[in-house]
A and B are shown apart, each in its own frame.
Chain A
Amino acid sequence: MTSKIVQTTTTIILPFLLLFGVYVIIFGHISPGGGFQGGMILAGAAMLIALAYGFDKLPRFMSHLQSLEAGGVLLFIFVGSITVLVWLPFLADLHILPILNIIVGIKVFAGVALIYIFIARWELPHD
């Protein structure tokens, strides 16, 4: 269903896209960017993969995404509530910020990719 051009371009630019997304997440608290923006970039990369290589080979990938996303929320609620509950001065030296950034990045990546794939797969059999 997808043309050869799309597949070759995705194979070329995919590593740079993923690397850039991971960079934005991890260095979120130093350079401009952060969990949300990096997660979105990775979700874009996931959409690109889904577009280029078709949706039929995706069920296994989707179940991974689902568990990733549910785990992300639980982790965030656990770690987030620590920052929210405990008075902050104790936590600054624990470098809580990068950890939160990474958790948020994973969550946004898995969630947004899931939304896209779900809507795209739902459309397929009907038209």
Chain B
Amino acid sequence: MRQWAKTLEIRSSPHIASGKSVDDIMLNVVLALLPVTGFAIYAFGLAALITLTAAVVSCLVTEHVLCRLTGRNSSVGDWSVVVTGLLYGLTLPPGLAIWMVVVGGIMAVGLGKFLFGGLGYNPFNPALVGRAMLQAAFPVAMTTWPAMPVDKFTQVPSSTLAWPFTEPVYDSISGATPLAGWKFDRVMTEPADLLMGYVSGSTGETCALLILLGGVYLAMRKMMSWRIPTAILLTVAICSGLLQLNDPTKYAGPLFMLFSGGLMLGAVFMATDMVASPMTHLGSVLYGILIGLLVVVIRVWGGMPEGVMYAILLSNAVSPHIDNWIQPRVYGTKKRGQTP
């Protein structure tokens, strides 16, 4: 009687999907980061390669081991931890001791991501948590920059190879980052050098053009919110412009502010980490403005020359509130948002 002996499958609608997938998005972020990574290796040589490899590998291994220890499926395959590792590596000074890179990588994934429940639940940007921990633990090592450019590709600073838990020894006198140069000595770096990345600084932050290129690629593929970087960059540009108008000898101009330090990398790749940023469009813009303001405040009035990392982390902490506060206006209701 029953012609179809075969059982059908039933599932809940919808029965088709867009085909976008988390691993796909993350893989694309890695792709977008490749030019930056390439330039970093070109500019800083083997030292950068070692730093980046150590960063990515330590993040990957931490994730895998922690997943295994807690009996979860290893989530290494979704590429997100590669993004974290790569971005984390790109924010480190090129000559950082390998063992410190590894310590920070463990912090980034363990403390920044895993303890909060893994992918999707981290309240702070894991890569920056790793960097912030390192900056707090080893401030000297984290603010010592090899002079740019390094003469030979194969040259590895002795600090990179410091024994675990020992203080690294620096072989040559370090260079100053453009921001530090401005803050402490009022030395202005050439805008062309800034743009092309021929300055000293963290591994991946120096070439603003390539970072923008990656950002545009991601934004076009709709894998990143273009609102956040735009809001950040505009805010910084406007604020610094106003300040410069006020007193050009005391305050650096928009061009310098935009293209120095970690602002580009931070605005394009790190503030946009969707997990720790608000979800609505308006929320994203507010979040971007907040980051921009904090960057300016810390850079101009703060004790440290650079503040992108702290600005992003602080805004990460604020983003749940932005999300609470700015809810989309539901169709057919009057008020925007609701108070949970």
Partners in one complex: no
Residues of B within 8 A of A (CB): none
